[in-house]
């Protein structure tokens, strides 16, 4: 009997050990699943969630995991998306202070600083990034800093490098065009905006800037580009405002009238501008 009891006890012990090992395996598997799920959730919060909801999520999650650099990055990125630049600067400073930070994190800090109009600070951060760190984002920001310093040759060089490092250069070409527009190179600006629209025909800021660059040369007719009826009305209005600025009042009135006729709804801004011109001429 005793022998049978011992065998039973041994079996119980073995079964207990198997159960504990199985529980441990399950726990480890669940941890792995949770990590994957959380990683996916982090990506979702950064890409499709409302920016302020993402800020709340990362703030809450980071409170329970204060040393997680991925969560710190998520908070910084979501603050940028939420247009909370000052808070984003603080968040990215915390990331850069983390022992596991990378050169990309410093570039993201510089981006937040530029958004917060801290141009000198952004330049200092970019200067601290090794020259071997050659990324699209780094050169895009370097170009913007050079623009702010009116270092046009450097800006052109950085813009050209940035364009070569991305398969989607439309926004950079648009920035480059605006740089040329601000320095009075209207022909160069027109070329850049046209190139931007060749890359992304839906980029309305480039369409609007293209009209401004052409109007600065007193070319008030709209360029041959893709546009909706509402966009056409808005671009005519932009051209009209540019004409007013250059003293071409008669042309401006014609552009405002065309904008009003083109817009599928009531175009209040164009109506007010036209009335102001007509009243001014009458008076």
Taking only the tens place, the pLDDT of each residue in 11-64 is 444 444 444 555 555 444 444 444 435 557 787 788 767 899 999 999 999 999
pLDDT of 86 over the 60 cut: yes
172 token code pair: 């950079």
34 token code pair: 């949770």
Q: What is the spatial distance between Cα 129 and Cα 144, in angstroms, rounded to a whole number?
A: 16
pLDDT tens by residue, 101-159: 999 999 999 999 999 999 999 999 999 999 999 999 999 999 999 999 999 999 999 99
Task: Tell which residue, 224, 220, 209, 204, has the closest CA to residue 258.
Answer: 220
Specify the pLDDT at position 281. Answer: 58
Average pLDDT value over all residues in the chain: 88
pLDDT of 216 over the 90 cut: yes
Q: Give the 3-state secondary structure of residue 100.
A: coil
* Locus of tokens 């660059």: 213
pLDDT of 78 over the 80 cut: yes
Specify the pLDDT at position 149. Answer: 96
Specify the pLDDT at position 45. Answer: 80
Specify the pLDDT at position 83. Answer: 96
Cβ atoms of 103 and 115 within 8 Å: the answer is no
What percent of the residues of the chain are helix, what percent strand, and what percent coil, each to the nearest 5? 80, 0, 20
Q: Give the 3-state secondary structure of residue 243.
A: helix
pLDDT tens by residue, 243-258: 999 999 999 999 999 9
What is the pTM (predicted TM-score) of this model? 0.80
Q: What is the spatial distance between Cα 160 and Cα 157, in angstroms, rounded to a whole number?
A: 5
Mean of pLDDT values over 76-87: 97
Cβ atoms of 267 and 233 within 8 Å: the answer is yes
pLDDT tens by residue, 151-172: 999 999 999 999 999 999 999 9
């Amino acid at each position: 009997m005793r022998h049978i009891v011992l065998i039973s006890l041994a079996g119980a012990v073995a079964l207990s050990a198997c159960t504990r090992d199985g529980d441990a395996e399950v726990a480890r598997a669940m941890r792995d699943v949770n990590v994957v799920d959380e990683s996916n959730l982090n990506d979702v919060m950064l890409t499709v969630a409302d920016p302020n909801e993402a800020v709340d999520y990362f703030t809450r999650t980071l409170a329970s995991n204060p040393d997680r650099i991925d969560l710190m990055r998520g908070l910084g990125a979501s603050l940028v998306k939420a247009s909370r630049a000052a808070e984003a600067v603080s968040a990215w400073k915390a990331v850069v202070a983390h022992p596991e930070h990378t050169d990309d994190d410093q570039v993201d800090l510089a981006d937040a600083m530029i958004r917060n109009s801290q141009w000198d600070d952004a330049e200092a951060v970019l200067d601290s990034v090794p020259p071997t760190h050659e990324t699209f984002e780094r050169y895009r920001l370097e170009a913007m800093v050079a623009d702010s310093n009116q270092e046009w040759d450097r800006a052109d060089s950085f813009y050209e490098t940035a364009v070569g490092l991305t398969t989607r250069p439309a926004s950079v070409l648009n920035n480059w065009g605006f740089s040329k527009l601000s320095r009075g190179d209207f022909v160069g600006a027109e070329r850049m905006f046209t190139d931007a629209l060749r890359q992304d025909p839906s980029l309305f800021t480039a369409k609007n800037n293209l009209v401004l660059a052409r109007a600065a040369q007193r070319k008030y007719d709209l360029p041959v580009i893709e546009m909706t009826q509402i966009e056409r009305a808005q671009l005519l209005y932009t051209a009209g405002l540019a004409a007013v600025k250059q003293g071409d009042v008669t042309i401006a009135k014609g552009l405002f009238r065309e904008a009003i006729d083109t817009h599928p709804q009531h175009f209040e801004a164009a109506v007010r501008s036209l009335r102001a011109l007509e009243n001014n001429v009458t008076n």
